[in-house]
Amino acid sequence: QVQLVQSGGGSVQAGGSLRLSCTASGEVSRIYEAEWHREPPGERREMVVNIHNSGHTQYEDAVKGRFFAAWDKAKNTVDLQMNNLTPEDTGVYFCRIAAFRDPGLGTFYVWGQGTQVAVSS
């Protein structure tokens, strides 16, 4: 089993920065990918960044150059540094991990509880 707990977020004015953290516990050695998703108000959830165990990181175009994800394997955390925030970044942010199943084959996913990010103009 893997459990995820999120922290961080809050309210900030446009142009400001926020940092989100997602801490994993349990069988963390089975995790091979970590992701950040967001749900803008009234809109569908979308992935904004994913980071593979290999270190390869991909960002959605809207956040590229402003958001930076980091996987700290010593602390079992995946952080999301969000800079130069705009009102369009407002939403509930979720972390998710992909991990190998108990036998070591196949994949299962675990979601964090979500955290609110509000950016005012």
pLDDT digits (tens), the chain, 121 positions = 899 999 999 999 999 999 999 999 999 999 999 999 999 999 999 999 999 999 999 999 999 999 999 999 899 999 999 999 999 999 999 999 999 987 767 899 999 999 999 999 9
Burial 74-95 (b: 16+ CB within 10 A, else e): eebbbbbebeebeeebbbbbbb
CB 51 within 8 Å of CB 59: no
